[in-house]
Amino acid sequence: MAAESLSIQDGAQEKLMSGYRSNPNSAFRRFLAIIRELLDSPTSAFGLVVVTILLLTAIVAPLLAPYDPNVVDLGNTLKPPSSEHWFGTDELGRDIMSRIIHGTRISLTIITIVSVIVGPIGLLVGTTAGYFGGWYDTVMMRITDIFLSFPSLILSLAFVAALGAGLENAIIAIGLTTWPPIARLARAETLTFRGADYISASRMQGASALRIIVKSIMPMCLPSVLVRVTLSMATVILTAAGLGFLGLGAQPPLPEWGAMIATGRRYMLDNWWLVAFPGGAILLVSLAFNLLGDGLRDALDPKQR
């Protein structure tokens, strides 16, 4: 993975930089060009469409859901899928489709907060470590190594156990375990153009280290970091669902998909729809982020094809 990402540079930089230098209109055109490129391949188009649907569903969830996700209907428990309840009902008679639709809001919250935390932290740690080098680099990379020496789910589990179960703590724990690979990547990228002529040029013109990092290095790392964050989201979705399933993430009655599967587990042998549909939703979203990430890599880096 690292070796692959290392080579995402030249073409990608020019493509993205062209958007930075010129007016907002051409940046927008550049954005459209990337979207068009994503839609060209069926797999990344699928990823883009599913992620867009997820976004829209989360926004209009109450309008879209046929029932209230939390209303208990004890006369209608454990009903298999039918024309009234497309995905059936759960042990309390709640409509599973409505719960999955409302669950998109939780998934989207997790994804948004985690990316907002890990993108900038990873970028900042990686670029500064790569640019300054020396003992600062050594310390920072030792720290990321320690985090990287754990599978992400086990470390998140440990953090949640320390902080207490719940959705907020699960998000913090996932954030804590997601930034190190991004920092590693940003550092590797920084190292490759730390010695470039244009960096020396701006240093000789008297630009401060901060200015060089923010203005010249960070934009160069952006494409690969963006690809990496998108791919990480596939793992984040799985980890969040896993925590919810183990009872350490979102707590019932929240319609979080992993937690829904955990409660459905007791009835699953006779009522498959309790676990099949929420799990299908997790698989779909995780798959979509993987495909979108692969597509973005192709779109931002023509060399990879």
Partner 1 sequence: MTNERLTAFTRQAGTILATLIGLLILTFCIGRLMPVDPVRAIVGEEADQATYDMVAERIGANLPLWQQFFRYVNDLAHGDFGTSIRTGQPVINDILHVMPATIELATFAIIFGAGLGIPLGILAAVRRNRPIDHAIRFVTLIGHSMPIFWTGMIGLIVFYAMLDLVGGGGRLSDYYIGLVPEATGFLLIDSLLAGDMEVFRDAVNHLLLPASILGYSSLAYITRMTRSFMLDQLNQEYITTARVKGLSKNRTIWHHAFANIRVQLVTIVALAYGTLLEGAVLIETVFSWPGFGQYITNNMLIGDMNAVMTCVLLVGIIFIALNLLSDALYKIFDPRTR
Nearer to partner 1, 218 or 248 (CB): 248
Cα separation, 94 vs 31, whole angstroms = 42
Nearer to partner 1, 4 or 14 (CB): 4
CA triple 281-277-87, angle to 5 deg: 125
Nearer to partner 1, 46 or 193 (CB): 46
By CB under 8 A, what part of segment 62-81 binds partner 1?
Answer: none
User: What are the counts of helices (DSSP H) followed by strands (DSSP E) for the chain?
Assistant: 14, 0
CA triple 201-205-210, angle to 5 deg: 90
**Phi, psi dihedrals of residue 182, rounded to the nearest 5°:** -70, -40
Name the one range near partner 1 by CB under 8 A: 16-24, 117-125, 146-154, 192-200. Answer: 146-154
By CB under 8 A, what part of segment 255-274 binds partner 1?
Answer: 258, 261, 265, 268-270, 272
Residue from 76, 247, 253, 304 in contact with partner 1 (CB under 8 A): 247
151 binds partner 1 (CB under 8 A): yes
Cα separation, 96 vs 139, whole angstroms = 49
**Phi, psi dihedrals of residue 90, rounded to the nearest 5°:** -95, -170
279 binds partner 1 (CB under 8 A): yes
276 binds partner 1 (CB under 8 A): yes
159 binds partner 1 (CB under 8 A): yes
Name which of 233, 78, 227 is nearest 152 in CA terms: 233
Name the one range near partner 1 by CB under 8 A: 32-40, 137-145, 201-209, 219-227. Answer: 137-145
Name the one range near partner 1 by CB under 8 A: 8-16, 106-114, 199-207, 285-293. Answer: 285-293
Nearer to partner 1, 46 or 132 (CB): 46
Alpha helices in 149-272 (DSSP H): 152-163, 167-194, 197-204, 209-211, 218-246, 257-264
Amino acid identity of residue 285, one-letter, is V
Cα separation, 123 vs 223, whole angstroms = 11
Nearer to partner 1, 197 or 270 (CB): 270
49 binds partner 1 (CB under 8 A): no
Report which secondary-structure segment, H or E, holds 130.
helix 96-132
Name the one range near partner 1 by CB under 8 A: 8-16, 98-106, 182-190, 238-246. Answer: 238-246
Name which of 195, 191, 217, 188 is nearest 6 in CA terms: 188
34 binds partner 1 (CB under 8 A): no
254 binds partner 1 (CB under 8 A): no
114 binds partner 1 (CB under 8 A): no
158 binds partner 1 (CB under 8 A): yes
Cβ atoms 190, 127 nearer than 8 A: yes
Nearer to partner 1, 157 or 183 (CB): 157
CB of 54 to partner 1, least distance (A): 14
Task: Extract the tokens encoding 116.
Answer: 């907002």
Cα separation, 211 vs 207, whole angstroms = 6
Task: Extract the tokens encoding 222.
Answer: 């952006």
Name the one range near partner 1 by CB under 8 A: 13-21, 60-68, 222-230, 235-243. Answer: 235-243
Residues that bind partner 1 in the complex, under the rule CB under 8 A:
4, 142-143, 145-146, 149-155, 157-164, 234, 238, 241-242, 245-248, 258, 261, 265, 268-270, 272, 275-276, 278-279, 282-283, 286-287, 290-291
